[in-house]
Structure 1
Amino acid sequence: MQERSDVILERRTRTAGEEWFMSADDILDKNVINPQGDDLGEISDMRIGFPEGKVTYLVLRYGGVLGMAAKRFAIPPEAVIYRPGDDNFVVNIDKRRLDDEPGFEEDLWPREADYGLIQSAGTITPPTREEAEAMKREETPPPEVVTTERIETRPRRR
């Protein structure tokens, strides 16, 4: 006599903090500014790497007139800040840097993003009293929780 249990239901529940997704139509032609509010241009294209299928970089089109003589820069997607409802993406790049750099040619796309364009956030300092109070008032998203529930049948006899 052999006993065995059959798993008749395995349910996995996942809860996580808020995530935002955008379609390519929402990303392309979106204006880009830096934290100082300088206009850096717009997202004109994106590059997807395979076999991973992940966005390798966004193409920032800067300068030019009616798209002519514009420079193109490969911006890492993780350097782009977006908050739902904003009209602009924010990227920490000095506008003068874009003036000085050549960018890339239309027919010579780079294989990866140019991380050298992104300015570091600088020295991190403790928040002011007002900033600390504001942080306390903001709700933090719940941590991701994954639970698995297994329901088994009674042992079966053979």
Structure 2
Amino acid sequence: MSDPPASGTGPGTGPGNDPATGPARARRLISADKVEGTAVYNRAGEHLGTIDTLMIDKVTGRVAFAVMSYGGFLGIGESQHPLPWSVLTYDTDRGGYVVDLTREQLAAAPTHDTDDEENDLSDTHGRRVYDYYKAEPFWLDPG
């Protein structure tokens, strides 16, 4: 019978699995094109929609929004909802993102319409989105 591993030497630890440099770090990163099409669920496990695109701040490089398609059927009647990136949590079991929203909250949420200047994710509209979700704005310095 072998002794239990010393603290910090079990699975997922050690020089090859350092969170900053090892394989765990590589698995944390994802290409933006692989995020597109990923399912979004609520905590109840209901499928809410899919990620269409990411909106990235050109100055800071931070992901500002994930624009999600919601509702409709075969692309007809869908609405586009910008979700602050910070409200999404990746769930490996589901293979998708999870948000703390009901369908009713999402239906009432701000939308994104590239043809509507009031809904173009400008600074003003972006603030409305972040206020609605009570999320920490991406443009604030985290340090």
Q: TM-score, normalised by structure 2?
A: 0.63
Aligned to 1:23: 31
User: Map of 1:45-84 to 2, 5 A cutoff?
Assistant: 45-84=53-92
Counterpart residue identity of residue 98, structure 1: L
Count residues with an aligned counterpart.
106
Q: Which runs of 5+ in 1 are unaligned?
A: 1-14, 121-158
Over aligned residues, Cα RMSD in angstroms?
2.4
C-alpha separation between the residues in 1 aligned to 2:102 and 2:54?
A: 21
SS at match of 2:90: coil
Counterpart residue identity of residue 48, structure 2: L
Aligned to 1:38: 46
Give the deviation of 1:46 after TM superposition. 1.2
Change (3 A) 1:54 1:100: closer
Which entry has the higher C-alpha Rg, 1 or 2? 1
**Greater CA drift, 104-113 or 19-28:** 104-113
Give the deviation of 1:74 after TM superposition. 1.1
Give the deviation of 1:33 after TM superposition. 0.4
Point out which structure has higher relative CO (alpha carbons under 8 A, 6+ apart): 1
Aligned to 1:105: 113
- Choose between structure 1 and 2: higher helix proportion: 2
Q: Which runs of 5+ in 2 are unaligned?
A: 1-17, 136-143
- Choose between structure 1 and 2: higher strand proportion: 1
C-alpha separation between the residues in 2 aligned to 1:64 and 1:28?
A: 18
- 8 Å CA contact 1:33–1:91 kept in 2: the answer is yes
Change (3 A) 1:92 1:117: farther
